[in-house]
Each structure stands twice: as structure tokens, then as C-alpha cells.
Structure 1
Amino acid sequence: MEFIEAVTIEVADDSAAQPFHSAAFGLDTQVRVRATDTASTGFRGFTLALTVSQPADVDSLVESALAAGATVLKPVAKSLWGYGGVVQAPDGTIWKVATSAKKNTGPATRHIDDLVLLIGVEDMGASKRFYVGQGLTVAKSFGSKYVEFAAGNGPVKLALYKRKALAKDVGVDADGSGSHRLVIGGADAPFTDPDGFAWETSRLAAAS
């Protein structure tokens, strides 16, 4: 396994969810949906983050997300690290849109520099070792707080964050139970990680 081909969000109504991700962010292939009736309450233990180049792009993407039915968890605002905000899709998925830039260099392009899947973990060391063992390469590491893996040839980066810290970062309570309602596509063979996140065989791996 060297990259994430796509993430699949499990939802109660897949006919309504896919149009949201397309209309809000233009993500037609990187983010997929499928129907499920598995129980899930509270924080699902993950967020999806869009990194863009300037504040105008943050504003444009957040505005289109709200127009498509999202709700605000953290209003768009400046901070010490840049500019960004957090919204929750109608299907419950939490999205963070941010840039490290504090000033615009031109009109909004809506270009997404990085799509990052952040999963909340209980034991950073164990989860990091697990994913290195699965073939991922560490790109950034800040001790027990944050680990980011190289995307390789895939459109989605994977990053690990302590669960409570991740929940705090996006403005929700860390409590949650049941299904993560997320399946990650990119494995050579299906597996489940130490925190219960399921991986399935990617279409590219299945075709090879």
C-alpha cells in the first residue's frame, strides 16, 4: 500500500450525499458515498481537510458548502497560523477548509492544494508504526501530537491526530460510538487499523 485512491463515506441516503460533495467542493472521484444502516453517534473520529492557497478560496469553498446544506462548526476567521473555518455536511462529515496565507494574491480559483484525511487515534506511536508497516512513508511528524504520511500517487493524504485534540480543533465533543462510517480505499488487501478504521482494496490494486 502506497497511497489512498479515495475515501468512501457511508451515509443513510447516498442519493443526497454525493451531490453535496460535488456541489460544495467539486470532489467527484476522491470522495465517494454509499448507503449504510450501521449505527453511529457523536464524533466519528475523523475529519476531511482542504488546504488552499489563499483566503478567497477558503471563503468560496465554505460559501458553496453552506449553500449546499452544510452547517457551521467554526466560522471562517483569521488565526495565528492562517485563515480557515469548519463546516459539517448534511451527512455528518466534518470538513475543515484552511490556508496558511493571510492575504489574497488574486481572485478565488477554488483550486484545492491538498485533500487530507485526519483520523483521531488513541495511541499515536502504535498507529504510526502500524501504517509504516503497511507501506506508508512519514512526511511530517511532531512527536505524539501529529503524523502526516506522503500521498504518493494518490489524491488523498493521510494524517494522524490524537482523537481529543482533533475533536477540539474542529469544535465538537470527542465522545462518539458505533461506526466511523468511513472506508478508505488503497489497500492491497482489506484490513482494519488499531482505531477501527476500515480499509478496502483499491480499484487500481484490484485491476493489477
Structure 2
Amino acid sequence: MTTIDHVTLEVADPAAAAGFYASLGLEERVRVRSGAPATGFSGFTLSLVASQPSTVDALVAAAVEAGATVLKPASKSLWGYGGVVTAPDGTIVTFASSSKKDTGPATRQVDDVVLQLGVDDVAASRQFYADHGFTVAKSFGRKYVEFDTGAVTLTLNRRKSLAKVAGVDPDGSDAHGVVIGGADGAFTDPDGFRWES
């Protein structure tokens, strides 16, 4: 099984970005380094999954306190409860819970970190990753694929659909501003997402 240990975001101000992700308890899974951030939609989102709505609210509040801007306020939907922010470095961060009801007191506990890649052809990208040793956990044809990747879950989504869920225009540069760590060797996928060991 190929795993993802962490993601590295390339940002204009690494110190500020490091502080933001530390405020959410993500130091181990989200790293930062100096680089040119993407312009427009960078083609990916980070999704932080929590157990219940009040925890989502607490995480969104912590993100806003640390400098994030709300794109979509947290609310109920067909699939659960969630909201979307833009981090100070420009990364789109979604917060989600499959539960619509609280079962205990609110915490700021992130249960899962999901790297959602927006790709042009989900089926072709799925095959590319399968050829690189990734194990498919869930697949919904040409719409969505989830891989079993350890500390950070990887999903493939249609780029326009991912942008729509995030509430942003799908246009953007090819410079994604993210490097994915943990692969067996360095490579670049068909949509320009870079991997490193």
C-alpha cells in the first residue's frame, strides 16, 4: 500500500502558514515551505473531517481566529454538516462531519485529513495511481475515487465539481502549490500534482 505521510504547501509566508496549521493541530500532516502560491483555484482542497457539527464549528472558529476567510458558513446538507474557508496562504480548507447531530461536547479534534485533488479525467487518474501501487478504497465511476493512503487520505474529484463544492471559480494556474509526501520515489501525476519521497 502506498501511503501519504504529509502534504507540503508552497506559500509566500511559511512562518505565518505554519502558525495557521499549528492552530488546527496539523503540524505532523501539513508542512509548509517557501514557494510561489497558485493563482486562482489551485486544483486541490484540504478537508478536515470531525465527528460532529459542534466540533466542525469549533474548528471553523479556530481557523477564522487564525486568519482564515469564510467561503461557505458551516451548515447542514444532504451528506452531513460542513463549511469552507480560505487559509491565509490561499489554500481552501473544508471542514466536514457526516453526522448532523452532536453526540457529546465540542472539541477541536480532527479525525481525518483528506487531500482532495481536482483532476480532468478521474478514470485516467485512477488508473495512473493504481499503476503506482495505490489501493482503491471507494470508487464512483468517473466522479470520485478514494484511496487507502494512511495518515492523509487521497481522493480524486472532477476539478469543476471540487471547485463548485468549495464555492470558487474552477479557473487557476497549473502551479498547484502542494507537494505530496510519502510516495516511493518522486513523480508528477497527469494533472501536474507533484510527489516526493
TM-score range (shorter-chain normalised) is over 0.9
User: Structure 1, residues 138-169: CA drift from partner, whole Å, max 9, x if none?
Assistant: 00001110000012xx3100000000000000
What stretches of structure 1 move > 4 A for 4+ residues in a row?
Answer: none
Shift, 1:39, TM fit: 6.0
- State whether residues 10 and 33 of structure 2, in contact with CA within 8 Å, keep that contact through their aligned partners in structure 1: yes
Aligned positions of 1:74-89 closer than 5 A: 74-89=72-87
Matched, 1:29 2:25: no
Can you give the 5+ residue segments of structure 2 that lack an aligned partner in the other structure?
none
Aligned positions of 1:58-69 closer than 5 A: 58-69=56-67
Letter in 2 for 1:34: R
Measured at CA, do residues 29 and 39 of structure 1 come closer, stay the same or move farther in structure 2, by a change above 3 Å?
closer
Matched, 1:159 2:158: no
CA distance in 2, matches of 1:56, 1:115: 18
SS in 1 for 2:55: helix
Equivalent residue, structure 1, for 2:189? 193
Picking from 124, 148, 156, the partner of 2:146 is 148
Aligned positions of 1:103-182 closer than 5 A: 103-151=101-149, 154-182=150-178
Can you give the 5+ residue segments of structure 1 that lack an aligned partner in the other structure?
202-208
Aligned residues: 197
Shift, 1:112, TM fit: 1.7
CA distance in 2, matches of 1:39, 1:182: 9
TM normalised by structure 2 equals 0.97
- State whether residues 77 and 83 of structure 1, in contact with CA within 8 Å, keep that contact through their aligned partners in structure 2: yes
Letter in 1 for 2:89: D
CA distance in 2, matches of 1:40, 1:169: 19
CA distance in 2, matches of 1:119, 1:175: 14
Please give the root-mean-square deviation of Cα atoms over the aligned residues, in Å: 1.0
Measured at CA, do residues 39 and 156 of structure 1 come closer, stay the same or move farther in structure 2, by a change above 3 Å?
closer
